[in-house]
Amino acid sequence: MSQSVSEMSPKTKAARKKTQAAFNRTPTAKKKRSADGTARKKLGLKKGSKMDASRSGGSFKAESRSSNRARGGRMGSRAGIAQGGRNSNRKGVKNR
């Protein structure tokens, strides 16, 4: 399981930042950011809004931030069982 950014060593943080910057320059990432921005505009969500443009079955819908992010973000439905994940009782236990 990967550790959070705050727990990483400075050397690891620098390497991660470099890798992420390279990914952010790819055409795929640019296209995704563009689509996300277009969807927010179409939904009428303005900067500073308490709503997120949530992906749902290939389309977007306006949803409150708390509801959208409560599903665990990157970890999705595994958030409850993953090692050290949100709602996990398995802290320090290796995954199966």
pLDDT tens figures, 72-93:
655 555 555 555 555 555 555 5
29-60 pLDDT, tens digit each: 999 999 989 999 999 999 889 998 888 788 89
Q: How far apart are CA 43 and CA 59, in angstroms?
A: 11
What is this structure's pTM? 0.58
Domain presence at residue 85: no
Domain presence at residue 91: no
Reduce the DSSP state of residue 61 to 3 states and report it: strand
Domain presence at residue 54: yes
Domains: count for the chain = 1
Domain presence at residue 56: yes
Enclosing domain of residue 21:
5-80
In degrees and rounded to multiples of 5, residue 24 shows phi and psi of -65, -20
Minimal CA–CA distance to 12: which of 2, 24, 23? 2
Domain presence at residue 29: yes
Domain presence at residue 20: yes
Domain presence at residue 89: no
Domain presence at residue 15: yes
